[in-house]
Amino acid sequence: MVNSKGRAEIFVSGRVQGVGYRYFTEDIAAEMSLTGFTKNLSDGRVHVEVEGEVDEIKKFIERLRTGPSAARVLNVQIKWKDYEGIYPDFSIRF
Which residues are known to be catalytic? 22, 40
- Where would I find the beta strands (DSSP E) of the chain? 5-15, 35-40, 46-53, 72-81, 90-93
Contact 79, 9 (CB under 8 A): yes
